[in-house]
Structure 1
Amino acid sequence: MQIGKVVAIRIEQLCRQHGMTLNKLGTVSGVTQSTLYNIVSGASKNPTVSTVKKICDGLDISIVEFFDDDLFQNLEQEIE
């Protein structure tokens, strides 16, 4: 899988774990709902580290916790 897809899956997982909708996550993180929906839908294939950090802040987790998941172990190499 590519990084954008994995980030989208991870955001959805964390929202479920925290009992939070994307709308609520947008409100508490300061990330626009359109940006969140673009990430989750795959329209935004390369979310910035800054956006991921804001999402982590909204979920009250560290960026290390965000990326500390088996999903990130099997990323496709994107440099050819």
Structure 2
Amino acid sequence: MELNEAIIERMKELAAEHGMTIHQVIQKGGLNQTTISELMSGRTKHPKVSTIQKFCDGLNMSLSVFFEDDKFK
């Protein structure tokens, strides 16, 4: 699995675990809809750490928790 695919999958999992949609998480985290759309569609292959951080902010979690998954080992 490529890194961007693992990030997308993790975002979907975490949003679902928190009972939220991706859209709700990015709104809460202050992310631009275009940025997340490009990532989810595969047009962005290398998301910025700041994008992942804002997603994490929307879930009130740290980057370390985000990457604490077997997908990233």
TM beyond 0.5:
yes
Given that residues 31 and 51 in structure 2 are in contact (C-alpha distance below 8 angstroms), is that contact kept between their aligned partners in structure 1?
yes
Write the letter of the residue equivalent to 1:70: D
In structure 2, C-alpha distance between the alignment counterparts of 1:38 and 1:25, rounded to whole Å: 16
Percent identity (aligned): 38
CA-CA distance at 1:41 after TM superposition: 2.2
Aligned to 1:56: 56
Q: CA RMSD in A?
A: 1.0
TM value normalised by structure 2: 0.91
CA-CA distance at 1:34 after TM superposition: 2.0
Given that residues 26 and 54 in structure 2 are in contact (C-alpha distance below 8 angstroms), is that contact kept between their aligned partners in structure 1?
no
Query: Which structure 2 residue ranges, 5 or more long, are not aligned?
Result: none
Other structure's SS at 2:11 match:
helix
Aligned to 1:41: 41
Given that residues 12 and 40 in structure 1 are in contact (C-alpha distance below 8 angstroms), is that contact kept between their aligned partners in structure 2?
no
Aligned to 1:77: none
Aligned residues: 73
Write the letter of the residue equivalent to 1:59: L
In structure 1, C-alpha distance between the alignment counterparts of 2:14 and 2:34, rounded to whole Å: 18
In structure 1, C-alpha distance between the alignment counterparts of 2:55 and 2:7, rounded to whole Å: 11
Other structure's SS at 1:43 match:
coil
TM value normalised by structure 1: 0.84
In structure 2, C-alpha distance between the alignment counterparts of 1:40 and 1:19, rounded to whole Å: 19
Given that residues 29 and 58 in structure 2 are in contact (C-alpha distance below 8 angstroms), is that contact kept between their aligned partners in structure 1?
yes
CA-CA distance at 1:2 after TM superposition: 1.4
